[in-house]
Amino acid sequence: MPTIAEVIEIHLDRLFGLEDVAGVAEGQLDGEPCIKIYLVQENTRTVLELPGELEGYPLVTEITGSFTKG
């Protein structure tokens, strides 16, 4: 099984191609690794386009707004 970092790298372009995706990162869900998808705003269409998991790692969305350089 590829590492979570490898899975993110493989799918990064596709994930960032979805509307309102602001970021993608490794996260934790109930103490287990997951892939966090940060959204600019709530977007039902984007959430529906996301699979429930990628290569065995669950996907979790979070509304964060846009990220800016500090």
CB 27 within 8 A of CB 54: no
Band of residue 65 on the pLDDT scale cut at 50, 70, 90: confident
* Model pLDDT for residues 2-59, shown as the tens digit of each residue: 999 999 999 999 999 999 999 999 999 999 999 999 999 988 898 889 999 999 999 9
Q: Which domains does the chain carry?
A: 4-63 (3.30.300)
pTM: 0.88
CB 24 within 8 A of CB 38: yes
